[in-house]
A and B are shown apart, each in its own frame.
Chain A
Amino acid sequence: MVKIIGIGNPLRSDDGIGRYIVRRMRQFAGVEIIESAGEGCDVIELWNDQDYVILVDAVSSGNKPGTIHRFDARAGQIPSGLFRCSTHTFGAAEAIELARALGKMPEQLIVYGVECEKFDYGESISEELKEPMETILHRIAQEIQAASGVRGRMTSQQSVLPIITNGQERSTLP
């Protein structure tokens, strides 16, 4: 099962970006769209070992707002503290590492992070995040099609924004 998980708090401005992105992927057939507040224990429960999971969350690592990070979580550890912390500092990165320690990782787990800046109360996304949103939508569509042959019609424009993949900058999919 292909699952796309959007994490965040849509009442805290840019923090909701993961959820705003996955909401736009509902037209994909055969793909389960899941929104989560990002509480770590709940995130672990969202997949089983057969799943192909793409997870999207806001990132606060000091890079320029709009910077896109992509991690293959099966290939290596997700840096802790990368994502915005959830309750008791147990968020998505910790959930993934706990799943790894418990042998509860899905078959594939790709993590997208978007560098965000504005986490105040609010229900809108910063203007500078709109292009990165389109880029991630396009990339996820490519990943899904490459992985499972699932077809969907995307309205996003082909984008050339660079992506920091497993900590290294590149503009094409690995």
Chain B
Amino acid sequence: MQSHSGRKAKRVKSRTIKVDYLARVEGEGALYVKTKNGAVVDVKLRIFEPPRFFEAFLRGRRFDEVPDIVARICGICPVAYQMSACHAIEHAFGLTVDGPLRALRRLLYCGEWIESHALHIYLLHAPDFLGYADAIAMAKDHPENVQRGLQLKKLGNDILNVLGGREIHPINVRVGGFYKSPSKADLRPLTDRLKWAREASLETARWAAQFPYPEFEQDYEFVALRHPDEYALNEGRLVSNKGLDLAIPAYDDHFVEEHVEHSNALHSVLKRGGNYSVGPLARFNLNFDRLSPLAQEAAREVGIGPGCRNPFKSILARAIEVLYACDEALRIIDQYEMPDRPFVEMEPRASVGFGCTEAPRGILYHRYKLDERGIVLDAKIVPPTSQNQKTIENDLRHVVPLHLRMADDVLTWLCEQAIRNYDPCISCATHFLKLTIDRE
């Protein structure tokens, strides 16, 4: 393990910290921080991955093509894109998907959360806390932990395989349900592995609880879906700890996307002013009471509870969510009865539909305007990373002044770690990172 102590820089009036290409994030981005006389004067999370124009590709396509097109936006969270699209289109057509089909969607989403969170916890974020340049260096000293992470991730992928037809861009999801629903026998082999994974995710949380956490808290506005009965994945109202409580169709009345010159990803802010935070920590804080008793107990054991405002502890919230996803998947499989038909029939109608689901990184909003044949006239997609960008920049604006005595390499490390708290997905948001800290 490397040590950060004893590497203090001599005091300077101003400096620049740059990361030209951020590693361990999805997509292409960079960071630029400029300080003057100990104050941060500029923070830019530059997203230079080219814009991907998916919303424009969708215009003129039939509604039933949409889930497969949007799955291509991200290789890590294709299910999130498919789910938000299906819910939005079904909302437009006045369709409700219930019973075992709804449960299967939830199971598919659990698979994606397990796969995405395990990747981020073990391979992308844990090396930051333990002082390793990457997961490969960490694996030499912590092989058992990395193996556990890989096995958890594989289980998530296998759930996607069983339900989605394949692990990267699932092909079995359609508006109204699935092309083919699994039998009870198809799901049964997952049970023992999920029981192992439930234990493994508790071990993950215990392991992460021992990491050194920087002292850092902010007064965030956390935004997440909230459902009356369950830890929200696919459905609910959008709520915040600062008074927001709205139905999904009112999203555009409360949130607006702004273009900033230094980023190819739009910044999403609240219309009433201010940035907000989405993702595991927001969900954990707003929906702690909806976690399974086992997940709540695990959270208490590892010392994280609702009201946590330290973004570096998002890795713990992620670990608790993996445990929850395993617990929930087991519940769904146990109660599953194969539906008579794998999907619900629908009739297109001219309408506008709204959908919002909890992608691993936070809420993912879709809006589609469709004509009477179900052709997409207009599409809007707001991914979680767009919504977190301003909060990430804001965190950096507050983290850097607290640590100006650090040498550039140590401060750069801390900045990158702070960015990875949000598991940013640049590919989604440019549809992300190099870091520059400029000390003048």
Contacts and interface: CB of A to CB of B under 8 A. Distances in A.
B150 interface: yes
Interface of B is mostly: helix
Contacts of B24: 88-89
A44 B147 CA distance: 11
A74 to B, nearest CB: 16
B71 to A, nearest CB: 13
A102 interface: yes
Nearest to A100: B136
A88 B124 contact: yes
A103 B150 CA distance: 14
Nearest to A89: B23
A101 B140 contact: yes
Nearest to B72: A11
Given A42-B154, A94-B135, 8 more contacts: A39-B168, A41-B119, A87-B76, A88-B76, A89-B24, A94-B134, A98-B146, A102-B147
Contacts of A41: 119, 123, 150, 153-154, 157
A105 to B, nearest CB: 13
A45 interface: yes
Given A97-B136, A98-B135, A101-B136, A37 B168 contact: yes
B25 interface: yes
Contacts of A94: 134-136
B26 interface: yes
B146 A102 contact: yes
**Most chain A beta-carbon contacts within 10 A, residue among B76, B124, B139, B140:** B139
B182 interface: no
Nearest to B124: A88
15 contacts: A37-B168, A39-B168, A41-B119, A41-B123, A41-B154, A41-B157, A42-B157, A44-B150, A87-B26, A87-B75, A87-B76, A89-B24, A98-B136, A98-B146, A102-B147
B167 interface: yes
Contacts of A28: none
Contacts of A45: 150, 154
B303 interface: no
A103 B144 CA distance: 11
Nearest to A86: B75
Contacts of A103: 143
A87 B77 CA distance: 11
Interface residues of B, number: 24
Nearest to B150: A41
Given A98-B146, A101-B143, A102-B146, A88 B119 contact: yes
A116 B47 CA distance: 26
A90 interface: yes
Contacts of A39: 75, 168
Interface of A: 37, 39, 41-42, 44-45, 86-90, 94, 97-98, 101-103
A75 B75 CA distance: 32
B392 to A, nearest CB: 17
Contacts of B134: 94
Nearest to B74: A87
A41 B25 CA distance: 15
Interface string B10-45: 000000000000011110000000000000000000
B172 to A, nearest CB: 17
Interface in B167-200: 167-168
A44 B153 CA distance: 12
B154 A101 contact: no
Nearest to A44: B150
A84 B167 CA distance: 20
A77 to B, nearest CB: 10
Contacts of A86: 75
Contacts of A87: 26, 75-76
A36 to B, nearest CB: 10
**Most chain A beta-carbon contacts within 10 A, residue among B23, B24, B134:** B134
Contacts of B124: 88
Contacts of B147: 102
B123 A90 contact: yes
B120 to A, nearest CB: 8
Given A87-B75, A88-B119, A102 B139 contact: yes
B41 to A, nearest CB: 31
Contacts of A88: 24-26, 76, 119, 123-124
A44 B146 CA distance: 12
**Most chain A beta-carbon contacts within 10 A, residue among B23, B135, B153:** B135
A98 B25 contact: no
A89 B23 CA distance: 7
Contacts of B76: 87-88
A94 B123 CA distance: 11
Contacts of B135: 90, 94, 98
A76 B185 CA distance: 45
Closest 7 CB pairs of A and B: A101-B139, A87-B75, A97-B136, A101-B140, A88-B26, A98-B136, A102-B143
